[in-house]
Amino acid sequence: MKKILITGCFGQIGSELTMRLRRDYGNDQVIATDIRRIEGSPLLEHGPFEILDVMDQRAMHRLAEKYQVDTLIHLAALLSAVAEAKPQLAWQLNMGGLMNALEVARELNLKFFTPSSIGCFGPETPADHTPQDTIQRPTTMYGVTKVAGELLADYYYTKFGVDTRGVRFPGLISHKTLPGGGTTDYAVDIYYEAIKRNRYTSYIAADTYMDMMYMPDAIEAIVRLLEADPARLIHRNAFNITAMSFSPAEIAASIQKYLPDFKMDYQVDPVRQKIAESWPNSLDARCAKDEWDFAPAYDLDTMTQDMLEKLSKKLGSTTA
């Protein structure tokens, strides 16, 4: 990678990945794009930014040519809970935007990355230590677009030789950017509420397990996969990756190690609960470890400690 174009730069992943890549490759080497401009964002201050609607393939092609990029990272998409509320829009954006990005990568011979998700699995998928290659019958529109996206990225590699790469992200937890409508968002919200109110009402049931990952590990995984030797990659796209699996009750217990008075109660949201129950409890990430040396650094307690420290500073609290 020498020059990189990122779509959806203001999202939860894009905002942190853009800054990491600019640190690694240089500010002018990473072009951030999104459908809107967010004034005051550091992404506008530390490198090029362009407005881009990913549904406009010609505009994407023009920007890739203008900046002479060699890598395209496509992040723009609707997430699980929002996609389920707007399924037709989710299909149009998630699949139409992906097809446009892949076409630009094909036309300009670009390295290509796009993320999949644990949302690509369904109720018939083995729930524990979910294999890399297994049944995928999702029951949400978000999941349908993720499975289709995995297959489409594989197709562009085998049919056209596009250097496509991708991972299946678990729920992502970050102290820098608020989540954007995913089922696993409770695992971010809970830390904010722990600092602000010392209590949290979970919309996911206490004993519901889902895979999770701290954002520094997620960003490192993207960089490591993009830099990996292609000769080692057997799967190329949709690698299972994970760092930890926990329930709302367990994340509450982890917070109580640092904030003993923290309280948790539950008002389960049937829509998001149903989505959560259709996803795996834990993923088998051996293929990612074997093919490109994936290795997360954070577990639940080390993540909790770091989240509480960082959010205490961010929110101006001395609670943690």
Q: Are 67 and 3 in contact (CB under 8 A)?
A: yes
- The C-alpha R_g of the chain, in whole angstroms, comes to 19
Burial code (b: 16+ CB inside 10 Å, e: under 16) for 78-103 equals: bbbbebbeeeeebbebbbebbbbbbb
Instruction: Write the CB contacts of 136 (distance below 8 Å, at least 6 apart in sequence).
Output: 120, 121, 122, 125, 147
Q: Are 206 and 249 in contact (CB under 8 A)?
A: yes
Which residues are annotated as catalytic?
142
Instruction: Write the CB contacts of 94 (distance below 8 Å, at least 6 apart in sequence).
Output: 77, 78, 83, 142, 145, 146, 149
- Note the residue count of the chain: 320
